[in-house]
Amino acid sequence: MKGFDMASFDDQVQAAIGAHGMWKARLRQAVDSGSSEFKVDVVRLDDRCDFGRWLYGEARQVHGSDSQFELVRKLHAEFHVEAAKVLGHAMAGNKGQAEASMGIGGQFSRVSSSLIGALAKWRAAAAA
């Protein structure tokens, strides 16, 4: 593919997996402290993080027609919505609701796991 750099693609996907994993720690800290440097309305936006900018820019140009691209885009957007919900609960002092979403079987946890799985699958498909 013209302009396709597998190392760059792999780096972007790997960085996204790591960055989204870091959100668990950030959200856990927000739940525990009731505060965060992040704003709920900004967290909800899926095109503001580094991966989102790449996803809607270069990745869309190169992989926009891939079925895996659309799944990752959808799950990434859902991840941001769920992260914003958890952050909103944490900031409002609704620790139980935030923890339930982050816990096993919770909505944030499910979406996060689905996104990581889709990213790994997309990465493997691109390498094949």
pLDDT, tens digit, 9 for 90 and up, residues 61-80: 988 888 899 999 999 999 99
The CA distance from 60 to 66, in Å, is 9
117 domain-assigned: yes
Residue 29 has pLDDT above 90, yes or no: yes
95 domain-assigned: yes
> What is the model's pLDDT at position 92?
96
Q: How many domains does the chain have?
A: 1
The CA distance from 40 to 65, in Å, is 31
Query: Mean per-residue pLDDT for 23-40?
Result: 94
> What is the model's pLDDT at position 67?
80
1 domain-assigned: no
How does the average pLDDT of the chain come out, rounded? 89
Q: Which two tokens stand for residue 52?
A: 């989102």
The CA distance from 46 to 56, in Å, is 9
> Is residue 37 within 8 Å of residue 88, measured between CB atoms?
no
| Banded model confidence at residue 97, pLDDT cuts 50, 70, 90 | very high
CATH of the domain at 68: 1.20.120.30
> Is residue 28 within 8 Å of residue 86, measured between CB atoms?
no
* Helical pair 6-33 and 107-127, crossing angle rounded to 10 deg: 170
116 domain-assigned: yes
93 domain-assigned: yes
Domain range for residue 34? Answer: 6-127
63 domain-assigned: yes
> What is the model's pLDDT at position 9?
83
In the block, residue with structure tokens 């959100």: 23
79 domain-assigned: yes
> What is the model's pLDDT at position 6?
54
Structure pTM? 0.89
